[in-house]
Structure 1
């Protein structure tokens, strides 16, 4: 990753310095550094190929990333080879078409910086942003279609109104009923001369590229209908469409972030680590004698304090029955709670009952019911045997 950042940095320095120098005056050490970077990348991808094997390299867990790296590195090798060929030719031998191809291939050097996108796997916040943006592309496409329909519909109406006014002015000025529409107002012609210009004006009016008041001013001079259409367009586009689109984008981004399993796993792990750390600190505060064991008296005293009571309540653990809570946390029933029992018990009681806990309780209830049925049956058998024995003794007593 460090080499990728160095490559990006060197590319920026090279472009900045080359902008004020001739082709032959560009320092040669740029090409040397570029060649070294390409060689290192080639060695990296080659070692990775032999280490993973052909199958695992292309279809393994990182197969897509490996193919992405391979394409970028192959383009870089081709670009370096073309640079070397051009350097070996004289200026008269290199045609203009060759220079265009070389200029295009030099973009491959920029593509090497795209490899930094692999950092997405390790930086959760960056991964969330990028994946949220990518998952809004579908919404963006439909938004563009909706806006284009809006621009076109209002653009046709406003262009027609402006052309009618310009045609009227041209006929009045020339007396020719077949005169081409022409307006003396340059601002009106600038913004509303064609459907394309009208659509561009409408787009700029809601995107910050143009104040919609500037586009509205020339319309005021000849048509209240055009003014009403422009105002109605702004109301729909700004206060309705854009706000709804913003809400859809936000909702899509939130859903995509929540649906990413890796991000959720990282967030859950961070929350759990933070909670365990807080529980350990709380246990140290409860253990006044530093014996690493907490008795029922120490536990009751601590629970009665606002700090611990609020903390446990925030975890969803009720503190109303201190004795029951202590008994549940005391897993070995020794009458004392150690650090592991305290942390494990609180983590198990944290939050609402989970599906695993419910399933475990259901299984334990099933086993208990089976044990009770077996005990009832055995008790009934013993009862029957006792009754039989008593009757046998009675019969024997009568015979005597």
Structure 2
């Protein structure tokens, strides 16, 4: 649990840095694991809690108590009320309980040592605590001490996932037991009536004394029959005992009842219940937010390491950029292909893939562009990618349609204006452009006439 930025301002900065340090949680996870091992060693060496304890065991126990108190103090000082009011308040309550029981154990050990030294019982009046009462308190304290093992689930992701899955399958477990109870109850009534009816029927074949005793042992009452049926499908007893008596040969229907019960319960009911439990466990593991976040971070870090190693294959370690030439030269190598396959990338066209990576169009790809591109293109398209593509496509079609409508309107206006201008120029004789054209035509005709007259005069002079 990290300290939020809002709470950092009111807390001692050095304590906040210690709690947020990368090695804080791993260190205390190791402390919890080693303490769990130590508890087992302590119980193994002194299972009754009556014998003398080694001074080393006591010293190590007090050292773990000091570490637990230190952790709780640091977390409380760094987070304050947020530590006990956040979403992980149950872990905070467990920490407080563990520290309280650890301090209580130190107190009880000291008190028990004082009572044990008084062989005459002169301290019996001291709170009414005799050696036997002190022994009982020590036993209770050592049993409560095993609660510390639960802290392992906080730091070990795999154990936390299993416990979370088991917790969310309790509802399915309850209804599974109800269903199994109903099935056993129905078949129990059938078997009890069939067996007792056969035993006490005067017209039925008489059973031997041994078979009668065994039949009454397994089928004498409804409760014993239900227990026998439940044990037969849970490996408590062999299901052969259900139909091993001579009563099974009394009629074909009765001989098929045990076989049908075992077949139906074992192959149908238990398999369906197993599938339901598996489905519930998978869904709970997927819905565990902390587990999902840690899994995503672990996968992302693994992919980043692979991509950095892949990037170093294209260029050298001194540069942070690669060009298309370097990319094309290395893309067909077996090592690079293997990297791309582990990342879930199928690169067939080097140039197209490089253009997708080079988003700024600079002709080279930096390591940040390479990392983001490979993480974005690995695997199959997600629903959000398809949704974004559909949104962009819809936006493009909508704006393109508007642009086409606008251009068509403007072209129609331009066409009308050109048509009007041509009409004006060709039909109006008094318009200024028409007069200019007519004047220019007259001037050209006058020049042509003058040139012709001059040419005629020159020809006459020569004659």
Q: Please classify the TM superposition score into its range, dividing by the shorter chain length.
A: 0.7 to 0.9
Give yes or no for contact 1:165–1:222 (8 Å, CA) kept in 2. no
SS of 2:245's equivalent?
helix
Residue 127 of structure 1: aligned partner: 160
Residue 113 of structure 1 pairs with residue 149 of structure 2: yes
* Whole-angstrom CA distance in 2 between matches of 1:315 and 1:43: 46
* 1:239 CA drift (Å): 0.8
Residue 392 of structure 2: aligned partner: 361
Residue 98 of structure 2: aligned partner: 72
* 1:243 CA drift (Å): 0.8
SS of 2:236's equivalent?
coil
Instruction: Please list, as runs of the form range in 1=range in 2, the aligned pairs for 1:192-207 lying within 5 A after superposition.
Output: 192-207=219-234
* Whole-angstrom CA distance in 2 between matches of 1:228 and 1:238: 15
1:138-165 per-residue CA deviation (whole Å, 9 max, x = no partner) reads 1111111111222222223323333345
Give yes or no for contact 1:317–1:349 (8 Å, CA) kept in 2. no
* Whole-angstrom CA distance in 2 between matches of 1:304 and 1:46: 56
* Structure with max Cα Rg: 2
1:90-115 per-residue CA deviation (whole Å, 9 max, x = no partner) reads 46542756654553343111112222
* Whole-angstrom CA distance in 2 between matches of 1:279 and 1:35: 48
* Whole-angstrom CA distance in 1 between matches of 2:225 and 2:248: 17
Residue 289 of structure 2: aligned partner: 261
RMSD: 4.5
Gaps of 5+ in 1: 174-181
* Whole-angstrom CA distance in 2 between matches of 1:36 and 1:297: 59
TM-score, structure 2 as length reference: 0.66
Instruction: Please list, as runs of the form range in 1=range in 2, the aligned pairs for 1:178-327 lying within 5 A after superposition.
Output: 184-185=210-211, 186-218=213-245, 220=247, 223-224=250-251, 226-279=254-307, 281-282=309-310, 293-295=322-324, 299=328, 302=331, 308=337, 311=340, 315=344, 319=348, 323-327=351-355
Residue 36 of structure 2: aligned partner: 8
- The farther-off stretch of 184-193 and 235-244 is 184-193
Gaps of 5+ in 2: 1-28, 125-129, 426-430, 437-463
TM-score, structure 1 as length reference: 0.75
Distance change (3 Å), C-alpha of 1:262 and 1:58? closer
Residue 17 of structure 1 pairs with residue 48 of structure 2: no
Residue 103 of structure 1 pairs with residue 129 of structure 2: no
- The farther-off stretch of 340-349 and 291-300 is 291-300
Give yes or no for contact 2:331–2:350 (8 Å, CA) kept in 1. no
